[in-house]
A and B are shown apart, each in its own frame.
Chain A
């Protein structure tokens, strides 16, 4: 270790939606390494260790040939200015400041704008619109919740500090003894490593979450449920009755739900059933529900896209005003059907995460990608621009999964530009090429 050491207190980890802002980093400036990340979980430690700044990646690749950022911005602007149906997608692992620029480009060129929310908690976003949300910050849950119900998720492996910093073992104002003052329930189709923290594990048959949630709603309201529910859902009626009573009798309950609800049959109906259950429970006690969000700033993407277009994801600006229609303007569908004639992808990897049909379409159209690391999408892209990592080399704002805004503190400089800078320059160049906004010819044949 060199003498050139810097300590950065209260830095933020942006690897997952917990966005822990209590990281104490030890930075070796000569070796260009973060040698210690105090308070980080196993995922956070890997995030800071593999910060990817000294990988000696080219600044950009255009059709596989090394290029400068400048050339790549010009090539990107040309693609976007000439596209008839461009898709802008990703945005969950970058700052709100960069997200704003992406929305501005979408607005200017009449693009289809979508974020990774559509393949994460998009169905929950649809359910919010239909059912509403009884919500709370993680701070409230930490300080008050005496009943925690985790549903369809495995935070022990996906959000390790959700348990220790905000929920299960955290000590709070009204739960001073932490774990001892809380009852923890886990509902899932398999006994994941998260089951180890639970007092009660409820194993549901696959694709039967909706039925279990609906039966709980009935029980909470004092209605009779057929004991046959066990054959349908795998959960004995007595277990459900016990859970319903615990929910009604707790002082402050929280339902924290994962993609076990949104990525299976029922999707937004599952999330909607859970949100409705939380609302029902407020007849008896205080109950809240929160989706557990994956990427560091996916919640910021929902906020930025919402405040600028009125909708959280799956927005089409092709007619000069925003239209929201999941299934039509969401990327998995749009690419799977072979639509879009160009794509700008920011901090996401649809080239690995989407269906085969969607990936094949990405290979047919000009793709521009901004990412600090080499990804599958980077390999198929016509223009790949290396950018600096947010939270490590780029300051800015991110939203924690509970919609709390957090400012980032940087640890190490990066030779690469930020997403915000690259997007701003692409926007300015596209504006020059188009001579302003591309206002579609309304009413023209």
Chain B
């Protein structure tokens, strides 16, 4: 069963260093297509580090790899992804008249990708 969670986009060290090497290089692509997830949430969904998951928002869907984090670092129900084309794909263009789309709090459904 897909579960609804909250996705936060942000920067990370590796996102920054791999960005300098180039957005079409393997490392940047890997960094920006990995989602961090609470380890207990992952266990409940039957996921291990590196497993593919599908994230779906009102604006689009993407497949990414997941990586577990402890509850102390990332509470249940929260997901973190480094900014990149995939995080943008889930973002809506509406800004509520502010110019700024919501990119640090996106409701997504999370579903393991079988096979």
Contact = CB atoms under 8 A, between A and B. Distances in A.
15 contacts: A46-B20, A50-B21, A119-B100, A191-B74, A262-B100, A264-B105, A326-B95, A330-B95, A332-B100, A333-B95, A352-B84, A354-B101, A355-B59, A374-B23, A376-B23
Given A46-B20, A332-B99, 15 more contacts: A46-B17, A118-B99, A119-B100, A157-B12, A160-B13, A203-B75, A206-B78, A259-B10, A263-B103, A327-B98, A333-B93, A336-B94, A354-B88, A355-B91, A356-B93
Contact of B100 (A49, A122, A193, A335): A122
B20 A47 contact: yes
A43 interface: yes
B102 interface: yes
A333 B88 contact: no
Nearest to B91: A355
Interface in B1-49: 6, 8-13, 16-24
Contact of B102 (A260, A265, A313, A327): A265
Interface of B: 6, 8-13, 16-24, 59-60, 72-75, 78, 80, 83-85, 88-89, 91-105
A158 interface: yes
Contacts of A353: 83, 88
| Tier of interface size on chain A | 35 or more
Given A50-B21, A122-B100, A357-B93, A190 B74 contact: yes
A191 B98 contact: no
A36 interface: no
A337 B97 CA distance: 12
A12 interface: no
A123 interface: yes
Contacts of B10: 154, 158, 192, 259
Contacts of A330: 95, 98-100
Nearest to B80: A190
A206 B104 CA distance: 9
A325 B60 CA distance: 28
Contacts of A376: 23, 85
A192 B18 CA distance: 19
A326 B97 CA distance: 6
B110 to A, nearest CB: 16
